[in-house]
């Protein structure tokens, strides 16, 4: 019924891909040779050609991000230009372009899914340069291939720099405030002695910056983190120059304008104003939050609050303000219990079940599950949740197969995977999560359900495919809000040793502390978004990149980072991810997610009618309709911009 994960044969993978692409080109040529081209005879098999390439490449892509080594890097890097060249050849073919336009105009009885695909493909052909002169098309192809290589190099440089650093402490003098579980994770043996090892990997870095009492050591680790990958300087310059050149070849003023062509937002100006207005509303409260933090830190003996001090004193202030001790919560969030509880919540919420599969994936700790509804299997998900040295940092959801009708008329069931970097389990030491980790897991599951609950029959607009980038975070941000609901926490927040439920007073403290320093956090995200949209409006030198970041920070960074901070060198979201001139999407989508969440607050968390409507009008539709149409179908109106400010507890 489902494809199972098989580790790619790295010795033959590149040649196998070449053969697949050659076969795919011949299949495209065969489609073009047909005298009469219809949606059924042309577009459906065309989609399947691209699906087969994605099916082949995804297992290697998973390996590259979760089991990275030099061999995988080499194979992956060799594949990228091959894929880029194939895509450019196809999307610049004038005969294909004309075929799609002809089908769009000649077939009046197309359904909305089919019309959406044709409109998207026609736009995609235009944005890939199908209307350009031959010389310009050749340049576009070169740009695309080079950008693919540069983005991968940027990402690899960040990963290598992250893996290269470690801090070894021979005693725990500066770690007396660190939770016992974090300290246990850091403990290791060296030269026959017990020492404490800290790295720049997410769980280790955050724990150290939050709990190490020695400011000098905190700055040492902070500096290592914020100066990673200096070799990315020229790569950023070249990426921005090539993106700008691409935009101008296609007739756009800059790359930001090109990027927004396929998003909900209409112009860079609209994005800038949206982010700036949120900053304006957040600034007064953020200043008050900072003054409270400075006063608290001063009372603790801190003469000047620096960037590398804020996490440490913020955690102490949070604990003092809400009597919130993160260490006391971790035993209630044992990883396996959280996953099981999330499944139970989703069964009650959406009526879907998760059945474990005895299947070996890419790592011994990666697990697989069938998704069921009314006893019928309708999807499959892999979950790889623990941090490893050979694993890319962060958390993400990926799609492998999409719900669709196959050319033979059978139904293809979807497959997704979730990757996180939670504290790893050890013999005798379970993986205990912070509540922030629980929120992250809910977030990524929101993405996965957007993909897996699709009922769309056309693969190019099924699941997350075809969804506007500034709407794709809507379902994920929506679901993470439920990680704070008492009814939901009562399902799984159970002490892994005593089996007792998380007490009501501890749940209330989590809720009360949810918006602690929310305005400061809002400003930080707005800083990233404003920086991103502004640097993508012209080619930029390294000095200009820094200057724009410094200018944005004048209104968003109330604690000025030290001059050595080179955050941009590790901003993988926009230089090696999909968020170039689109990082604002998190806040744009969060308006919709907050608004939709409040509908559930008003109607009741487990209101069956509301949940069914959300599945029917949002999750199941994928990219087959405009995101705003999905939202309006569920809510009966446009998004309310005040919902995000309300959810964040900001008094504007």
Co-location of 67 and 124 in the same domain: yes
**Together in a domain, 631 and 646:** yes
Same domain, 530 and 621: yes
Q: Would you say residue 415 lies in a domain?
A: yes
Q: Do residues 409 and 463 share a domain?
A: yes
Residue 505 lies in a domain: no
Q: What is the CATH number of the domain that holds 288?
A: 1.10.1370.10
Q: E-assigned strands of 15-99? A: none
**Strand, coil or helix: what is 345?**
helix
Same domain, 345 and 452: yes
Q: What's the rounded mean pLDDT across residues 84-112?
A: 93
> Residue 389 CB: number of other CB atoms within 10 A?
10
Residue 6, in any domain of the structure: no
pLDDT at site 1: 53
Structure tokens given for 650: 């900001």
Q: Which two tokens stand for residue 100?
A: 């799609």
Pseudo-torsion of CA 174, 177, 181, 183, nearest 10°?
0
Whether the pTM exceeds 0.85: the reply is yes
User: What b/e sequence results for 161-188 when a residue is b if at least 16 CB atoms lie within 10 Å of its CB, and e otherwise?
Assistant: bbbeeebebeeeebbeebbebbbebbee
Give me 473's structure tokens. Answer: 């975070």
pLDDT in tens, 259-291: 999 999 999 999 999 999 999 999 999 999 999
pLDDT computed for residue 406 by the predictor:
83
Q: Is the predicted pLDDT of residue 394 greater than 70, yes or no?
A: yes
Q: Give the 3-state secondary structure of residue 88.
A: helix
Phi, psi for residue 416 in degrees, rounded to 5: -135, 165
Active site residue 78: no
- Tokens 């940092």 belong to which residue? 393
Average pLDDT for the chain: 95
Same-domain check for residues 237 and 209: no
- What Å distances lie between residue 267 and 124, 261, 279, 361, 552, CA to CA? 18, 8, 19, 43, 19
123 and 207 together in one domain: no
pLDDT in tens, 508-550: 999 999 999 999 999 999 999 999 999 999 999 999 999 999 9
| pLDDT level of residue 507 (50, 70, 90 thresholds) | very high
Tell me the mean pLDDT in the region 459-475: 95
Helices (H) and strands (E) in the chain, counts: 26, 10
User: Would you tell me how many other CB atoms lie within 10 Å of the CB of residue 299?
Assistant: 11
CA distance 70 to 465: 31
**Residue 14: pLDDT band with limits 50, 70, 90:** very high
pLDDT band per the 50, 70, 90 thresholds, residue 202:
confident
CATH number of the domain at 51, please. 1.20.1050
Of the candidates 105, 114, 87, 102, the one whose C-alpha atom is nearest the C-alpha of residue 28 is 87
Total number of domains constituting the chain: 4
Using the 3D structure, point to which of 461, 484, 507 is the last residue of a domain: 484
Q: What is the pLDDT of residue 463?
A: 97
Identify the domain containing residue 188 by its residue range. Answer: 165-226
Q: Write down the catalytic residue from 318, 444, 485, 590.
A: 444
> 185 and 257, same structural domain?
no
Report the distance separating Cα 382 and Cα 292, nearest Å.
43
Cα angle 85, 54, 141; round to 5 = 15
Compute the distance between CA of residue 335 and CA of residue 386 in angstroms, rounded to an integer: 9
Find the mean pLDDT for residues 13-37.
96
Q: Provide the CATH number for the domain around residue 377.
A: 1.10.1370.40
Alpha-carbon Rg for the chain in angstroms? 25
Q: How far apart are CA 403 and CA 464, in angstroms?
A: 10
Residues 186 and 113 in one domain: no
Residues 356, 456: one domain? Answer: yes
Report the pLDDT averaged over residues 221-228. Answer: 98
Last residue of a domain, which of 131, 153, 180?
131
Q: Residue 357 domain-assigned?
A: yes
Q: Is the dihedral of CA 247, 249, 252, 258 positive or negative?
A: negative
Q: Specify whether 534 is located in the same domain as 645.
A: yes
* pLDDT for res 652: 58
Q: Is residue 240 part of a domain?
A: yes
pLDDT classification of 203: cutoffs 50, 70, 90 = confident
Q: Among 183, 204, 226, identify where a domain stops.
A: 226
Mean pLDDT score, 47-52: 95
Q: What is the pLDDT of residue 348?
A: 96
H/E element holding 383? strand 376-386
What tokens does 431 get?
A: 């993986």
Q: Which of 313, 325, 318 is nearest to 215 (CA)?
A: 313
DSSP 52: H
Q: What is the pLDDT of residue 277?
A: 95
Regarding whether 629 and 573 lie in a shared domain, the answer is yes
Cα 8 to Cα 577: distance, rounded to the nearest angstrom: 23
Q: Is residue 1 part of a domain?
A: no
Q: Examine residue 40 and state whether it is found in any structural domain, yes or no.
A: yes
Alpha helices in 255-323 (DSSP H): 255-259, 268-299, 307-322
Q: Per residue in 311-358, pLDDT tens?
A: 999 999 999 999 988 889 999 999 999 999 999 999 999 999 999 999
Q: Is residue 208 part of a domain?
A: yes
Which CA distances in Å does 430 have to 301, 386, 524? Answer: 36, 11, 33
% of the chain surpassing 70 pLDDT: 100
């Amino acid at each position: 019924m489902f494809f199972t994960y098989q580790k790619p044969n790295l010795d033959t993978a590149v040649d196998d891909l070449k053969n697949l692409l050659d076969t795919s080109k011949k299949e495209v040529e065969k489609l073009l040779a047909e005298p009469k081209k219809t949606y059924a005879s042309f577009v459906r098999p065309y989609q399947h050609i691209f699906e087969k390439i994605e099916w082949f490449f995804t297992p290697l892509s998973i390996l590259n991000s979760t089991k990275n080594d030099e061999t995988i890097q080499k194979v992956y890097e060799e594949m990228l230009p091959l894929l880029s060249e194939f895509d450019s050849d196809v999307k610049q073919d004038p005969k294909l372009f004309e075929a799609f336009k002809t089908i769009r105009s000649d077939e009046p009885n197309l359904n909305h899914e089919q019309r959406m695909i044709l409109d998207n493909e026609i736009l995609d052909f235009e944005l890939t340069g199908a209307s350009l002169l031959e010389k310009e098309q050749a340049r576009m192809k070169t740009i695309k291939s080079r950008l693919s290589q540069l983005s991968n190099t940027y990402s690899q440089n960040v990963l290598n720099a992250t893996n290269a650093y470690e801090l070894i402490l021979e005693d725990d003098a500066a770690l007396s405030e660190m939770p016992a579980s974090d300290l246990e994770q850091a403990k290791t043996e060296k030269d026959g002695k017990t020492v404490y090892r800290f790295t720049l990997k997410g769980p280790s870095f955050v724990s150290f910056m939050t709990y190490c009492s020695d400011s000098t050591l905190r700055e040492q680790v902070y500096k290592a983190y914020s100066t990673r990958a200096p070799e990315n300087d020229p790569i950023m310059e070249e990426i921005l120059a090539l993106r700008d050149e691409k935009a101008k070849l296609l007739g756009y003023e800059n790359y930001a304008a090109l990027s927004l062509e396929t998003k909900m937002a209409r112009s860079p100006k609209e994005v800038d104003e949206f982010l700036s207005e949120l900053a304006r509303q957040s600034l007064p409260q953020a200043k008050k939050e900072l003054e409270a933090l400075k006063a608290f830190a001063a009372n603790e003996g801190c003469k000047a609050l620096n960037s590398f001090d804020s996490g440490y004193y913020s955690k102490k202030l949070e604990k003092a303000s809400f009597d919130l001790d993160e260490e006391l919560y971790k035993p209630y969030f044992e990883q396996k219990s959280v996953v099981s509880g999330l499944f139970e919540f989703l069964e009650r919420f959406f009526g879907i079940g998760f059945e474990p599969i005895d299947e070996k994936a890419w790592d011994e700790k990666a697990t697989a599950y069938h998704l069921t509804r009314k006893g019928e299997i309708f999807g499959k998900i892999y979950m790889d949740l623990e941090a490893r040295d050979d694993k890319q940092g962060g958390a993400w959801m990926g799609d492998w197969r999409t719900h669709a009708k196959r050319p033979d008329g059978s139904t293809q069931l979807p497959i997704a995977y979730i990757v996180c970097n939670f504290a790893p389990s050890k013999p005798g030491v379970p993986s205990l999560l912070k509540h922030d980790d629980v929120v992250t897991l809910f977030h990524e599951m929101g993405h996965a359900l957007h993909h897996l609950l699709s009922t769309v029959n056309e693969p190019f607009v099924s699941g997350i495919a075809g969804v506007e980038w500034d709407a794709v975070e809507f379902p994920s941000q929506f679901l993470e809000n439920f990680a704070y609901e008492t009814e939901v926490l009562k399902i799984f927040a159970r002490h892994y040793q005593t089996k007792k439920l998380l007490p009501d007073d501890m749940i209330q403290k989590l809720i009360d502390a949810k918006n602690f320093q929310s305005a400061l956090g809002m400003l930080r995200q707005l800083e990233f978004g404003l920086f991103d949209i502004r640097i993508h409006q012209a080619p930029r030198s390294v000095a200009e990149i820094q200057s724009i970041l410094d200018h944005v920070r004048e209104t968003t960074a109330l604690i000025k980072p030290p001059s050595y901070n080179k955050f941009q060198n590790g901003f993988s979201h926009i230089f090696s991810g999909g968020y170039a001139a689109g990082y604002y999407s998190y806040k744009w989508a969060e308006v919709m997610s907050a608004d939709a969440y409040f509908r559930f607050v008003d109607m009741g968390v487990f209101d069956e009618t509301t949940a069914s409507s959300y599945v029917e009008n949002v999750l199941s539709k994928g990219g087959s309709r405009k995101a705003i149409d999905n939202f309006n179908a569920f809510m009966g109106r446009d998004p309310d911009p005040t919902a995000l400010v309300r959810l964040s507890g900001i008094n504007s």
